Amino acid sequence: MQLTPQELARTIDHTLLKPDGTAAQIEALCAEAVTYGFASVCVLPWHVRRAASIVRDSSVAVCTVVGFPLGATYTDVKIAEAMRCMDDGALELDMVINISALKSGDVDTVLHEIRSLVTSVHDRKGIVKVIIETCVLTDEEKRRMCSIVTQAGADFIKTSTGFSTGGATVADVLLMRDHVGPGVSIKASGGIRETSTALSMLAAGASRLGTSSGVAIVRNLDQ
């Protein structure tokens, strides 16, 4: 896959979601994102306001996570969290599905939750990426989630939180590309640390990458 460093950078959500991440590390993350022209910085809700103040005059968006990392909270809590984050400057919301509901066969709850959050975020011109945590799902459940995310009108389906038993795989990106609707993009996230891995995810059908290794990935493009 032939990309310039600038084109590759525009696919990356430059990410710091560690619970012990400091204000200084968030500031450094944002400075790197502006310098390299990443698509966004992805930070925990507590850091959204700080990140927004740093990237305000750049092309870098602020992304944050909702119901993270387990997804097992109430729909109205997820919506309230998303709205507060948007108040603080987030434009892109990466939500974790209710994995337990899906595993229990309660697909109506999963669909209703995603659709409700999508409606609230889209009303404010935001973007929703739905994290399905592929490493704990069967292939049939992954296919079902592709259908649900499409029905709910979300902007992206995302592989992983990076906090479970595994991250993104090329096989999962290919599966998503085959089963998600044409209006839904794919974000691969979790374990993407090398340029070759990043390029393989993009070649498989991802258009956005979540990684804390964005600087190294872009710098090593021509090596």
Query: Which among 118, 178, 107 is positioned nearest to 144, based on CA atoms?
Result: 107
List residues with catalytic annotation. 94, 158, 187
pLDDT at 222: 76
Per-residue pLDDT of the chain (223 residues; tens, 9 = 90+): 689 999 999 999 999 999 999 999 999 999 999 999 999 999 999 999 999 999 999 999 999 999 999 999 999 999 999 999 999 999 999 999 999 999 999 999 999 999 999 999 999 999 999 999 999 999 999 999 999 999 999 999 999 999 999 999 999 999 999 999 999 999 999 999 999 999 999 999 999 999 999 999 999 997 7
Q: Is the dihedral of CA 221, 32, 97, 123 positive or negative?
A: negative
pLDDT at 136: 98
Taking the CA atoms of residue 129, residue 84, residue 36 and residue 191 in that order, the dihedral angle to the nearest 10 degrees is -50
pLDDT at 144: 98
Q: What is the DSSP letter of 73?
A: S
pLDDT at 1: 66
* 89-106 pLDDT, tens digit each: 999 999 999 999 999 999
The structural architecture, per CATH, of the domain 5-219 is Alpha-Beta Barrel (3.20)
How far, in Å, CA of 216 to CA of 193, rounded? 8
- Which structure tokens are listed for 97? 């599905």
pLDDT at 186: 99
- What are the φ/ψ torsions at residue 3 (nearest 5 degrees)? -130, 150
- Which structure tokens are listed for 216? 């190294």
* 104-123 pLDDT, tens digit each: 999 999 999 999 999 999 99
How far, in Å, CA of 93 to CA of 64, rounded? 5
pLDDT at 112: 98
Domain ranges of the chain: 5-219
Whether the upstream peptide bond of residue 69 has omega within 30° of 0, thus cis, is: yes
